[in-house]
């Protein structure tokens, strides 16, 4: 591994960099320089969130260094949106790992989208992760980089799991984590909340960054 390689971590909706801290330490122990970002996930639409992330990264990562991206939940979708913008995408893009991402939205957002409580908690971005992705389709370009996706099939939220169609992690179905152009997709027995701290998930993530495969 090239010790000068960088990794950007993006947390999920309503979370913070603290939720990704264990994964950050795991990657730092392997020699990566890790940028574990905070962003105001509940306050803006995904377009503004990507702009915010770009503003934070613009003067931090040297342009000649390889940059990998890891996004958890909403952060995984933001990685795709970020890399779809030619003004944001780094010239030395490495590999990308999405952890339990709503690539095709989530049934929970469909179910709760008109609830005032959901609107208050999830904000504008929460309205953009419904399964009808026509509202953000124009912002997404085809996948032309090495993308590995990890999905979960365990849950600590049986009520939410009843709302979600098919196997799921309590927040997002396995099927809705998939996207055309992905290189590999793997399923683990982990609930959505615990993804960034799960040993197996961390090991698989690091393996994909290093080798471009989960196998």
What pLDDT score was predicted for residue 3? Answer: 56
pLDDT digits (tens, 9 = 90+) for 161-192: 999 999 999 999 999 999 999 999 999 999 99
Q: Alpha-carbon distance 72 to 189, whole Å?
A: 16
Q: Which fold has domain 6-211?
A: Rossmann fold (3.40.50)
pLDDT reported for residue 132? 96
Instruction: List helix spans (H) across the chain.
Output: 21-28, 46-57, 74-84, 107-112, 116-126, 158-163, 199-211
- What phi, psi does 110 have (nearest 5°)? -60, -45
Every domain of the chain and the residues it spans? 6-211
Record the tokens describing residue 118, joined without a space. 């959901």
pTM given for the model: 0.95
Q: At what angle do helices 199-211 and 21-28 cross, to 10 degrees?
A: 50
């Amino acid at each position: 591994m090239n010790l000068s390689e960088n990794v950007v971590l993006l947390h999920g909706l309503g979370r913070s960099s603290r939720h990704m801290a264990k994964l950050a330490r795991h990657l730092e122990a392997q020699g990566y320089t890790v940028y574990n970002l905070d962003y105001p996930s509940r306050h803006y639409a995904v377009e503004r969130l990507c702009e915010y992330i770009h503003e934070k990264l613009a003067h931090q990562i040297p342009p000649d260094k390889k940059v990998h991206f890891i996004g958890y939940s909403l952060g995984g979708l933001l990685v795709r949106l970020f890399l779809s913008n030619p003004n944001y995408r780094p010239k030395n893009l490495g590999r990308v790992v999405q952890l339990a991402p709503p690539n095709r939205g989530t049934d929970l957002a469909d179910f709760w989208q008109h609830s005032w409580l959901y609107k208050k908690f999830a904000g504008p971005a929460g309205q953009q992760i419904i399964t009808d992705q026509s509202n953000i389709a124009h912002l997404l370009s085809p996948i032309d980089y090495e993308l590995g996706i990890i999905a979960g099939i365990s849950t600590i939220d049986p009520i939410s799991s009843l709302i979600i169609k098919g196997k799921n992690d309590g927040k997002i179905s396995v099927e809705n984590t998939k996207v055309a152009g992905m290189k590999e997709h793997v399923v683990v027995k982990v609930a959505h909340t615990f993804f960034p701290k799960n040993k197996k998930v961390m090991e698989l993530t690091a393996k994909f960054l290093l080798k471009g495969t989960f196998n």
